[in-house]
Amino acid sequence: MTTNQITGGEALVRMLKLHGVNVIFGLCGDTSLPFYDALYRSAGDLTHVLTRDERHAAYMADAYARVTGRVGVCEGPSGGGATYIAPGVVEASESSIPLLAITSDISVSSRGRYTLTELNQEAMFGPLTKFTQVIDNAAELPRILRRAFKEMTTGRPGAAHIGLPFDVQQQPVDEADIWAEEEFGRYPARRTGPDPVAVETAAELISKARQPLFVCGGGVVISGAEQELEVLAKKIDAPIATTISGQGSIADDHLLSLGVVGSNGGTPATRKVVDAADLVIFVGCRAGSVTTERWRHPAPGAAKIIHIDVDPAVMGASYRPDAALVGDARLCLTALEAVVSKRDADGARELVGHARKEKYAEFRELAKSTAVPIRPERVIDELQRQLLQDAVIVADPGTPCPYFSAYYEIRDTGRTFISNRAHGALGFALPAAVGAYYGRSGSKCVAVMGDGSFGMAVGELETIRRLGVPVTMIVFSNSVFGWIKAGQRSGYDGRYYSVDFTRTDHAAVAEAYGIKSWTVAEPDQLAPALQAALQSDKPTLVDIITQPLQEARAPVSEWVA
């Protein structure tokens, strides 16, 4: 029997399509030519978004995956392309986001001969991903692609890497081997449930608790467990706090929603609720250093701990669990709700109400300030007024993150707020907003960044202009690496060293790329500029000269102390 054969490059395109992939973010290179030719000959089956930097391609794929629930795909060439794409790959993987990075490579026959761009890609990507393999024979490509998608979307989701040598892209593959299990194109796939004994133990702890508290990480949104969380929280009368990545687990205006807790976005008022809890239920949350303010809130031993997570390695890493439920967040919460009794207590709403009132009191005063430079709180307040409920906000981890996490109210569940919390690299928001747009084009996508981040991602303005991506970019311009300078002020007696730089006219830079822009230096200019930018159906940028972090009252506990 004779089978039809296609090239390795064509097989890759077909396998991606069978797994539901319809957009790829990437950058061309010599070793990728056969793959690019296969994309050309696929007659537009896949949309390819040409970026100006491989790192940004990965950030775009990351955000695309976060807002769609599908695997994000990025690609780049060998050598420098592989090293450039790595920061985005590890960010996605450590954030439990399924991202497939495809890097082309030198020919198998050229290895060990000092070939330009030679690099041991498996050795490099091994610690950064759930799965990595350089494919040495095209016949193996379909099987390895199926495994990569399965690895990314089952268990704890994460990133995978495939290396594709130049000659392998041209080798034959039998068409009969081109098939896929489509379920692995979405996440989470093949959910796993908890041990019934652990569920009973957790239910008993809840029955004895005086003041339980949920602390929810990104696992709740990844699992789509928002409704199950709300049902259980109402049943046991427990406030719901979140990490930054966990925002969207519950609407911020819900009567049980405490908001973000921890050292970045938490406040003294929300910390009080954490410290008062005698039972803390971590859900899809690693209980890391930021969420717990370096494992001080809750203090070890001060409260009983129920830990729910799909990754068994998380259990006991930071707190001794009194009950450990290993499994998908939705299945675990459903199982727990089925066995717990309704609590007669009715104090959670009052507790949350007091905390929220105290938390927002100072913010509202600063949000009305007419001082110059413009207070960050005023920017947050104005965006709250103008953005629609379904808007997607991508915030860099510098100046924007604590303010948005503490004070911007997300009034729906699901993923409408994104910040790169695993490694916190600057330069994320601008390209990630592009990926968010391709995943959710019906919503307004907004990138919010400091000027340090802008400088690291400015090249993608050309991508945004070329493709006409109608994102709005907002720059907090204060001419400083503010997070570090604020740390030097609070922890090193103001010994400022190598953190200041000259102001860039970001609006002029954007205009040079052909993007409509505004510069805002006075508070009364803010509302009309944001309104014009946000209502435009073209890419826009608003450059806001704001108070630097070391002078501000940002909700960051180490600086407040």
CA distance 51 to 65: 17
CA distance 516 to 534: 11
Q: What pLDDT, on a 0 to 100 scale, did the predictor assign at position 1?
A: 34
CA distance 368 to 80: 48
Which residue, 522, 244, 174, is CA-closest to 393?
A: 244
CA distance 232 to 404: 27
Q: Are residues 114 and 216 in the same domain?
A: no
Q: Are residues 416 and 538 in the same domain?
A: yes
Q: What is the CATH number of the domain that holds 322?
A: 3.40.50.1220
Q: Mark the ranges of the chain whose per-residue pLDDT is less than 70.
A: 1-2, 561
Q: Are residues 497 and 435 in the same domain?
A: yes
Q: Are residues 328 and 374 in the same domain?
A: no
Question: Is 360 a domain residue?
Answer: no
Q: Are residues 53 and 180 in the same domain?
A: yes
Please tell me whether the peptide bond between 165 and the residue prior to it is cis, using omega within 30 degrees of 0: no
Model pLDDT for residues 354-363, shown as the tens digit of each residue: 999 999 998 9
Tokens 């089925």 belong to 338
Which residue, 30, 39, 40, 8, is CA-closest to 162?
A: 8
**Quick one: tokens of 144?**
């390895």
531 vs 16, 101, 388, 447, 526, CA distance in Å?
Answer: 40, 37, 12, 15, 9
Q: What is the CATH number of the domain that holds 450?
A: 3.40.50.970
CA distance 301 to 305: 9
Domain boundary among 287, 321, 351: 351
**Count of structural domains, the chain:** 3
Domain boundary among 316, 351, 386: 351
Write out the DSSP string of 209-230: -SSEEEEE-HHHHHHT-HHHHH
List the domain range (segments joined by +) for residue 453.
Answer: 369-560
Neighbouring-strand partners of residue 323? 306
Write out the DSSP string of 404-421: HHHH----SSSS-EE--T
454 vs 134, 204, 380, 508, 541, CA distance in Å?
Answer: 34, 51, 19, 13, 11
Q: What pLDDT, on a 0 to 100 scale, did the predictor assign at position 496?
A: 97
R_g over Cα of the chain: 24
Write down the H helix ranges in 294-399: 329-339, 348-367, 376-386
Q: Are residues 397 and 333 in the same domain?
A: no
Q: Are residues 41 and 170 in the same domain?
A: yes
Q: Are residues 263 and 339 in the same domain?
A: yes
Q: Are residues 20 and 126 in the same domain?
A: yes
Question: Is 358 a domain residue?
Answer: no
CA distance 130 to 370: 50
* List of residues 6+ apart from 442 with CB closer than 8 A: 390
Write out the DSSP string of 252-296: TTSTTEEEE-STBT--HHHHHHHHH-SEEEEES----TTTTTTTT
Q: Are residues 382 and 506 in the same domain?
A: yes
Question: Is 191 a domain residue?
Answer: no
Backbone angles phi, psi at 185, to 5 degrees: -85, -10
CA distance 262 to 289: 8
Q: Are residues 210 and 274 in the same domain?
A: yes
**Quick one: tokens of 168?**
């392998």
